[in-house]
Amino acid sequence: MRFVPILFVAALMPLGAQEVKMPAGLEKLAAKADETVDVNVDASLLKLAGKFLSGKSEDETARKILEGLQSITVRSYEFSQEGQYDSRDLDEIRAQVKAPQWSRIVGVRSKRDRENVDVYFKDGGNGNLGGIVVICEEPTELTIVSVVGTIDPSQLASLSGQFGIPRFDFEIGNTGWRRDEK
């Protein structure tokens, strides 16, 4: 019986290790921002959401996605003018998504739109993803998304535009990644 707490802690350890923590420094940005949006959807809410889905095929896909997820966190900041945040404000979060566990799958640098988008995937084993982090930097907007849980790459597109995650389509073409923002 005394092994139960040990097993419990051991079971929680990989979950804790998977989570990408939003740096405390982001609070400073919230003070400068004109508008901020925080979304925190935890495992209990995701589980509850799964209960509501009917037996339709599209709901079945959504249910499968929800089953594997542990949390979705979004931090979004809108500033009235440029220069209110610095790329260095994101150093702490970038430090958490380093190889070998994490890979930067998409890196978009748009000089025209002055937009930078980075998408990091975590290897969850068995061909699944263990987590996703998206960082979108625009001159007056900053959005950080962290999705924790087991995600089938083929179901990835279904998460786009859902649960506060920005709608981004990523495609692999002959010339590499192409992104269409909707």
Which residues are at the interface with other proteins (CB under 8 A)? Answer: 30-31, 33-42, 44-45, 48-49, 51-53, 74, 161-164
Residue 13 CA to residue 57 CA, distance in Å, equals: 34
Smallest distance, Å, CB 34 to other proteins?
5
Smallest distance, Å, CB 59 to other proteins?
10
**Closer to other proteins at the Cβ: 52 or 178?**
52
**Closer to other proteins at the Cβ: 59 or 92?**
59
Q: Which two tokens stand for residue 141?
A: 């907007």
**Closer to other proteins at the Cβ: 79 or 102?**
79
Q: Which two tokens stand for residue 145?
A: 């998304």
Cβ(159)–Cβ(151) below 8 Å: yes
Smallest distance, Å, CB 74 to other proteins?
8
* Number of alpha carbons in the 13 Å side-chain half-sphere of residue 19: 14
Smallest distance, Å, CB 57 to other proteins?
17
Q: Which residue has the tokens 């083929």?
A: 154
3-state SS assignment for residue 104? strand
Amino acid at 119: V
**Closer to other proteins at the Cβ: 50 or 128?**
50
